[in-house]
Structure 1
Amino acid sequence: MSEKIIDDRSDGYVAIEISEDKMEAFASFFPATGKGRPLEKVQADSALNANNISYGIIDENILKAIEQCNSEQKAVKNVPIAKGTKPVKASPPHINLKPEFFNREKTVVRADGSVDHKESSPFVMVKKGEAVGRIFPYRAGVEGKDVTGAAVPFKNKDMQIFKAGENLEPRGELLVSMAHGRFVIEGDNISVTEVLEIPSDVDYHTGNVSFAGDLIIEGGVQDGFRVAAGKSIRCKQLVKNAEVLCRGDLNLDLGVKGRGNALIRANGMVTAKFIEYGTVESRSGITVSTSIMSADINTLGKLSMGQKGIIVSSTIMAEKAIEAYNIGRENCAPSILWCGVSFVENRKLENMKVRHEVLLEKIQKMKNRPNPPEELISRMEEASGMQEKEIETLAKNLCACDEAYIKVHGTLFAGTEIRVGHLKLKVESDQTRVLVKMDKEKGQIIMGPIL
């Protein structure tokens, strides 16, 4: 700080200090001593001129300080008497992201205050059409002035400038996602990716995963966790007792070992090395290279096994075909193979049968009352009749593929139950290299050698 004292006699005087950046000035007011002249505004003005202070002068503070100094006859120190105007920084064109996109983790807290790690996630997901931030154009800077009236140049605002990348486009003043996907910040680049890569297992570190695009899991899916993808899934390690749902193709580099409760569903093709103790369903088709054991397999397409692929103690429903090397094994529970039937329509049929049985039980209970409500019973019986017609229609539509077949390149073991359409056959003795299909004219299942 610099200091200049004006008038060192017994008159009242003013001492001024200016900050190093010259943006503020402070004054100390000293009263007269002895027969000196009282402090007046002219002395303050003289001190201001001596210090080259001409801008941002606070006259009100000066007058109050002079009055206090003279009335109390004591010094009034460090009074702010001038203040410069700070420059306004220039703001470059930039994207102001919503705060939630800087929070990389979604933490779900239960009602009791504990964290639900399965539902928490380290990923930030966005929906198509969702705004991720606001776009601000260039804003010019404004020069400031110090207390001497000198210009203070403005600077550029120090800020992170994000560059919009994949699947992000401006819509007016908003930056909008053009796809469902994961929001990614990599340095100054932001994007929405339709491929989510998980470098580990799906477990308590990731929580359950639900993603609208393609999903690549470098690890496996641990017990009790759920994975869902709007497109394809590739899992490089084991799927355990978990749930995997996929609208596209599902590629399991290893396979499923579910201990009975694993549930795998895909609209596209399912490919795996093995499937054990789980349910796997596909609307397109299933390819398993080595083995299916103690599993429920359903597909609207074809189940294809590898050159030495075996099916043991499993229930298979494939609308178009089943092809394997061996079906069955000595001293193991037999498998049930059913082709030519839509598992979707069969499920509808079974559900309708259950609903019909429940309704019949309710009707019977109504009839057993001392005063049965005849009108209500009549309406329920009418509903029962409609259900019976729906069951009949579903049963007719169940057998959708007359060309369905089962092909066994190795051994079809005795005890295996074969169904083709509405027909059923139990294999009485081991068969080798056999083709099983329906003879529609004879209305029976026939077995013959593979040609």
Structure 2
Amino acid sequence: MADVKAKKDRKKPVIRVSYNEMEAFMMLPMLEEDDEPYTLEEIYAAIDRAGVKSGLKTDLLEQIVKDQSCGYEHLIAEGEEAVDGIDGYFEYNFNTDLNRRPTIRPDGSVDYWSIHLVEIVEEGQVVAMYHEPIQGSNGMSVKGKLRKAKRGRPLPPLKGKGFNRSEDNLVYTSQMDGKIDMKNGRINIVPVYEVYGNADLSTGNIDFNGDVIVHGNVTTGVSIKAQGSVTVDGVVEASSIEANTDIVLRGGVLGKKRGKVMAKGCIYAKFFEYVNVEACGFIEADSFLDCNVYCEDEIKLNGKKGSIIGGRIEAIKGITANCLGNDSYKKTAVQVGMGIELLKRVNNAENELQEVQSIVDKLTEGIKQFDELGKEKNIDVKKDERRVALVRAKIAKTADLNVSKEKVEYVHKLLEKAKGADIKITKKVYPGSTVSIDSLVIVVKDEQNGVNFVINEENNLVMYPL
């Protein structure tokens, strides 16, 4: 009777489940001298009461019973972690992140060769490979609860133009030698006009619906027009360069007072001398010498020289340079903010919009009068030649009206850019320099070191030391 009572009162196996239910531990309390050994059935009963159902180490349990291993915990069950799947992805064999700004070398000079606007591929080149998704595997906790794995999701085939796709949609190859770029998940490969030498009278003028690359110089008298970008590795002489996007002139410009450089994007050049420059984006260069420059964004002269000498430089958003003018007191003018030219553009755009709107209103009224006359006389006037002419004229002028509205919207954006414009000259401002912000002007009479020209709260144009 005493033996039965001892077995009944003996401590039971202790089962502990981890907080994430991925591990289960068991400890057998120490046996007293007259206690009977633990049995496998007793252990499994304790495990069942704890709700442990999966990942049991049965061999270990048998060994524990055999050894009567008491007094410390054993890891008796391990859950299986879910293994998430891997989404499908594309591996690109071209540079998808082009460097569009020059690198400043440790000595302060600017490396214009670091600018990379155009990535070239060859016909038949593999430009992208698709790796299909890998499906994951579900897991299970020690209590038998399912751990769901994240599924690997496929990607749709690449869209764009200028490439071939294999039947299994895994391999993409270029159809041509040309420029490749990627925007909004689309790959576009288009022809590039490359000149492997100088652009001169032998090559003739270039007018190309894409990007133009000249690996030599652009000699005097040559005209280059590109619907894309223009990159010139050598020097640009007294020629005309126009681009619908960006322009990179690694060797600089010697314009001889006849050159012209115009971009609807940004312009980067080693230097500009005796040339007219216009950009809708920002301009970065090392120096300007006797240039006329108009920039609808910001001008940064960030090289060793960083100088503006002579000419007139206008940038709506601001100008940063090292030096303004020179020790010969050469007349140099800089303008930022709402200059006269910008105000003229705003007025012209708004006047044009009013004129076109007035014409559209008159045409609309004329058509309305025809329709009212038709109702009065109970006749169909829609095919009347005079009404048809009015409708056609209204359609044409409505198109003009939309263009005028876009112009007004654009110049008002420029006005927003002009707010808070300033001029930073980090080293010297020489006498003979004229500085203008909006309609306010300062003529510098004494040499200044490191100044910031701004309009203060009293609406005065002032110089603050940097």
Give the TM-score category using the shorter length: 0.3 to 0.5
Q: Give the structure with the larger helix fraction.
A: 2
Q: Which has the larger radius of gyration?
A: 1
Structure 1 length normalisation: TM-score? 0.46
Structure 2 length normalisation: TM-score? 0.45
